[in-house]
Chains A and B, each alone.
Chain A
Amino acid sequence: MSDRKEREPYLRMSGVFKHFPGVKALNGVNFRLFPGEVHALMGENGAGKSTLIKVLTGVYAIDRGEVELGGIPVSIHSPQEAQNAGISTVYQEVNLCPNLTVAENIYIGREPRRFGRILWKEMNRQAEHLLRERLQLTIDVTQPLQMYSVAVQQLVAIARALSVSAKVLILDEPTSSLDRNEVAQLFKIMRKLKEDGLAILFVTHFLDQVYDISDRITILRNGEFIGEYEAASLPRIELVSKMIGKELELQGNDPARSGRTGAPKEPLLEAVGLGRKGAIEPFDLTIGKGEVVSIAGLLGSGRTEMARLFFGADRPDQGFMRLTDGSGSVLSPRQAIDNGIAYCSENRKTEGIIDDLTVRENIVLALQATRGWVRRIPRKKQEELADHYIKALNINPPHPEHLVKNLSGGNQQKVILARWLLTQPKLLILDEPTRGIDIGAKAEILKLVLSLAEQGMSVLFVSSELEEVVRVSDRIVVLRDRKKVKEMQEDIGQQQVMQAIAGG
């Protein structure tokens, strides 16, 4: 990158604000993109990455702030305007038409015409030329797109973006469904495009890839602008700590959980080579009775995918899982429940509560499911159970007949916890149980986790909050880029965990 380019960013956003009711999605964010660079935009869930992209592509209007393109202030009102301004986007899911030909997909809506007639030959020739020259891809452009692999489809999407004389290319998680070789191929092409002077904005959750390809990194957190860095001079550990918002200096003296480690626990469950393609690479993991095992890692590192395999919510395609009491296999949630496993999903609304039912009905649901439809839990008994857990977990408002949709997030979470505690599980899997709930409820839930473990229940705890992970765990499993990279048992401190997450 020459000095002249350094002085002249093609795209400059300064002090950009975008608020939604109750959410400050972008709070004074700055962003610069230079021609001929790959710029990684990093941040955890809710950091504001997608909002920033949507602002750039004209989906959202900004509340305040400036956007300049080539030194001229602009305001982009629609995706069409963004394209005309030279900003093209390739989204995570390829949104092309699989049944149309490659050439049609590239030129749809902009076909070369004469007297209103489409010049098919000309179009195919141009498509072939574009793919060959700029993406080094030689394929038959008259074949339907669905004939080709996801990786090629991704390249076609990029070709479509380039065909509108793009100056800025936004790649939103382009690698999430590609394998290693395909990623390498994509990176080769990205490097070539970079040399051609294109400015590339790259979003990914894979740390290795960030360092592989990016020149610069901009970090956002909770809608705040954290900083812009040269990739070469930003150590991984610092990147991670800036993303999750923990200053390194404050770390070391964090009291790790003590007193409960020591004697090795009798194993409850054992996963051997368990894995699922595209979700998580095969791993071994043993969970002891009464043990709290945490899964730590960045967003997209495979935390949820791992938890779901344990519950049979997704089927593994490799390896197996064994319960030490020798009971049956776990290939569906129902089998998991019958084997004493319970799972609180991170998606409370779509996979947790039944919003139109009452608190009571939500609480008894899983227990009733195991009893079958004939042996209904008598109404009186249902009320007793609901009342018991409303008191025990401090659910507010304390009315079993309230619709669960009218409760706050934290109380909904407690309702789901109650649902599972009622089944008296041997292993409780909690996926981000404290996300989006207030501090008081968070503390209560953590306390509950610890007291359950005291009583002999095993807990598999997934959280992006390192502080929580460190506080409750006997053992921490660290994931990176959909792979189990480390298991930590002793001297668990936030810094060590962060180091493991960042890798080397």
Chain B
Amino acid sequence: MQIHRHHLFWPLAMLAALLLFNLIYSPDFYSVQVRGGHLYGTLIDILNFGSPLILVAIGMTLVIATGGIDLSVGSVVAISGAVACLTISRGSDQGSIGLILAAIGLSLALAVVLGLWNGMLVSTIGMQPIVATLILMVAGRGIAQLITSGQIITVTSEPYAYLGSGSLLGLPFSIFVVAALFAAAGLLTRRTALGLFIESVGRNPGASRLAGIRSRYVLIAVYLFCGLCAAIAGLILSSNVSSADGNNAGLWYELDAILAVVIGGTSLTGGRFYLTGTLIGALTIQTLTTTIYMIGVPPEITLVVKAFVVLVVCLVQSETFRKSLAHRWKTRRYPAEREVAKHA
């Protein structure tokens, strides 16, 4: 197989291009220092701050592989942080491990309920995924604000802060959470038949039904998993700042997550999915965001610059676009070929 045909070639190439850009324009980018046994540096920051996005994007990958989409992940991020912080703030001893575990357990349990809700709407009621999850996207923000009473809940809990800003073996702890979940998703889909079922249902629901796959359970499973991923991301995010903000936590995460999945090579029409591709896609987005800040793009135009780079990334990844570009290049020199190719 030619190397540029591998599904990870273009995502990796894009990430490499971004890293190369930084090598030339901001040499500080690659400096990593050891301070007090911990590693510090931009690369580490990208992994640390990027971890919630990676988590959300992993869940999103499976949903998109079934031909669906989950717009509610940003709201679930906010809800899960809010529930955890509220639970901790109500506790008498905010530092107690038992309380932290209870808070995390409560968040995750609620995420399971929310995931089930999405899954039922899509599979049992047969709602279009974009509409079904739009409901929770809107309502979820309200629920999060309700939980925090519209305020920002701050907690002072060392064990909870460890989740999002602690270090293990010199690396941010969140990286280990991401690694664990990434491995779990890989095992869950590739060591069982779930991955096959997801791809089958996503690519051809009619044929899958006739082959005996109960697509309802497959759909419920992926929305549930996606909800869990978003909730874990919400915990890391709120732990990192030791507070929960119902208004802004996880805002627009769904869009970045969808983008990460698409950059990773999974098609929005469903079917084949690539978890490693998604990982690279999420890292690409985080690197891009960091790069934009580092090279000092004026804040008022950062979004425009980001959008432009994303456009380029997507175009380069698109096989159709590459082909038509190559074709134009060719026909510039041999105008007669344009006619021939039209009929081919």
Residues of A whose CB lies within 8 Å of any CB of B are 311, 313, 333-334, 337-338, 343, 345, 350-357, 361, 364-366, 368-377, 419
Query: A354–B204 contact, CB under 8 A?
Result: yes
Known: A351-B206, A373-B197. 15 other contacts (CB 8 A): A333-B209, A345-B207, A350-B207, A351-B210, A356-B203, A356-B271, A357-B203, A365-B200, A365-B208, A365-B213, A369-B213, A372-B193, A373-B192, A373-B218, A376-B191
Contact A371 B193, beta carbon cutoff 8 Å: yes
Contact B199 A357 (CB under 8 A): yes
CB contact list, B165-215 vs A, under 8 A: 191-194, 196-197, 199-200, 203-204, 206-214
Which residue from B191, B193, B203, B212 sits with its C-beta under 8 Å from A337?
B212
Contact, CB under 8 Å: B212 / A354: no
Q: How far is the CA of A459 from the CA of B199 in the complex (A)?
A: 30
Q: Are A374 and B207 in contact (CB under 8 A)?
A: no
Q: Is the Cβ of B207 less than 8 Å from the Cβ of A354?
A: yes
Is B141 an interface position by the 8 A CB rule? no
Chain B residues within 8 Å of chain A by Cβ, number = 22
- Taking a contact as CB atoms under 8 Å apart, the answer to whether B204 and A355 are in contact is yes
Given known contacts A337-B212, A365-B211, A369-B213, is B272 in contact with A356 (CB within 8 Å)?
yes
Q: A350-B204, A354-B199, A356-B271 are in contact. Are A369 and B212 (CB under 8 A)?
A: yes
- Interface pairs (17), CB distance under 8 Å: A333-B211, A333-B212, A334-B212, A345-B207, A351-B210, A357-B196, A357-B199, A365-B196, A365-B208, A366-B212, A368-B197, A369-B213, A372-B193, A373-B197, A373-B218, A376-B191, A376-B196
A165 to B191, CA, bound (A): 67
Contact status B203-A354, CB under 8 Å: yes
* Chain A residue contacts of B213, Cβ below 8 A: 365, 369
Give the nearest-CB partner of A403 in chain B.
B272
A225 to B240: give the CA distance in the assembly, Å.
77
Collect the chain A residues with CB atoms within 8 Å of residue B210's CB. Answer: 311, 313, 333, 343, 345, 351-352
Instruction: Flag B28-69 by CB within 8 Å of A: 1 or 0 each.
Output: 000000000000000000000000000000000000000000
Query: Cα distance A370–B272 when bound, in Å?
Result: 22
The number of A-B residue pairs with CB atoms under 8 Å apart is 75
- Contact residues of B with A, CB < 8 Å? 191-194, 196-197, 199-200, 203-204, 206-214, 218, 271-272
Contact of A368 among B193, B204, B207, B271 (CB under 8 A): B193
Are B194 and A354 in contact, with the CB atoms below 8 A?
Answer: no
Q: How far in angstroms is the closest Cβ of chain A from B207?
A: 5
Chain B residues whose C-beta falls within 8 Å of the C-beta of A365 in the assembled complex: 196, 200, 208, 211, 213
In the complex, the answer to whether A368 meets B209 with C-beta atoms within 8 Å is: no
Q: Whole-angstrom distance between the alpha carbons of A459 and B212 in the complex? A: 19
Closest 6 CB pairs of A and B: A369-B212, A337-B212, A376-B193, A356-B271, A373-B193, A366-B211
Give the distance to chain B from A295, nearest Cβ to Cβ, in Å: 18
Residues of chain A contacted by B204 (CB below 8 angstroms): 350, 353-355
Smallest CB separation, A296 vs chain B (Å)? 23
Give the distance in Å from the alpha carbon of A352 to the alpha carbon of B203 in the complex: 12
Considering the chains assembled together, what is the distance between the CA atoms of A354 and B207 in angstroms? 7
CA distance A370 to B207 in the complex (A): 15
Chain B positions within 8 Å of A377 at CB level: 193
* CB neighbours of A356 from chain B (8 A): 199, 203, 271-272
Q: How far is the CB of A315 from chain B (nearest CB, A)?
A: 13
Smallest Cβ-Cβ distance to A353: which chain B residue: B207
**Chain B proximity of A22: nearest CB distance (Å):** 13
Within the assembled complex, what's the spacing in Å between the Cα atoms of A370 and B209?
A: 12
Q: Which residues of B sit under 8 angstroms from A371, Cβ to Cβ?
A: 193
Could you tell me if A370 and B206 are in contact, using CB atoms closer than 8 angstroms?
Answer: no
Give A55 to B199 CA distance when docked, in angstroms: 40
> A374 contacts B192, CB within 8 Å?
yes
Contacts of B214 in A (CB 8 A): 334, 369
- Please, how many angstroms separate the alpha-carbon atoms of A313 and B211 in the complex? 10
In whole angstroms, how far apart are the Cα atoms of A433 and B27 in the complex? 64
Q: Which residues of B contact A350 (CB under 8 A)?
A: 204, 206-207
Q: Which residues of A contact B272 (CB under 8 A)?
A: 356
Bound: A334/B210 CA distance, A: 7
Most buried by A among B209, B210, B218, B271: B210
Complex CA–CA separation, A311 to B211 (angstroms): 11
Given known contacts A333-B212, A350-B207, A376 and B199 CB-to-CB distance under 8 angstroms:
no
* Chain B residues within an 8 Å CB radius of A334: 212, 214
Contact residues in A for B200 (Cβ distance below 8 Å): 354, 357, 361, 365
Complex-state Cα separation, A361 to B197, whole angstroms: 10
Closest B residue to A352 using CB positions: B207
B322 to chain A, nearest CB (A): 20
Q: Within the complex, what minimum Cβ distance (angstroms) separates A416 from chain B?
A: 9
Give the CA-CA distance A334 to B272 in the complex, in Å: 24
Report yes or no: B211 in contact with A419, Cβ–Cβ below 8 A.
yes
Closest to B217 in A: A373
C-alpha spacing A368/B197, complex, angstroms: 9
Distance from B266 Cβ to chain A, minimum over Cβ atoms (Å): 12
Which residues of B lie under 8 Å from residue A355 when comparing CB positions? 203-204
CA distance A337 to B211 in the complex (A): 8
CB-CB < 8 A to B212: which residues of A? Answer: 333-334, 337-338, 366, 369-370
User: A376–B207 contact, CB under 8 A?
Assistant: no
CA A345 – CA B204 in complex, angstroms? 14
Q: How far does the alpha carbon of A187 sit from the alpha carbon of B200 in the complex, in Å?
A: 46
Question: Residues of A contacting B208 with CB < 8 Å?
Answer: 354, 365
In the complex, A373 Cα to B271 Cα: how many Å? 17
Q: Chain B contacts of A375 at CB under 8 A?
A: 193
A354 to B201 alpha-carbon distance, docked (Å)? 9
B34 CB to closest chain A CB (Å) equals: 43
Closest residue of chain A to B272, judged by CB?
A: A356
Cα distance A333–B211 in the bound complex, in angstroms? 7
Q: Which residue of B lies closest to A308 (CB)?
A: B210
Q: Closest approach, in angstroms, between the C-beta of A394 and any C-beta of chain B?
A: 22
Q: Name which residue of chain A comes closest to B343, CB basis.
A: A21
Instruction: Report chain B residues within 8 Å CB of A311.
Output: 210
- Distance A313 CA – B212 CA, assembled complex (angstroms): 10
How many Å lie between the Cα of A351 and that of B212 in the bound state? 12
CB pair A369–B192 under 8 Å, yes or no, is no
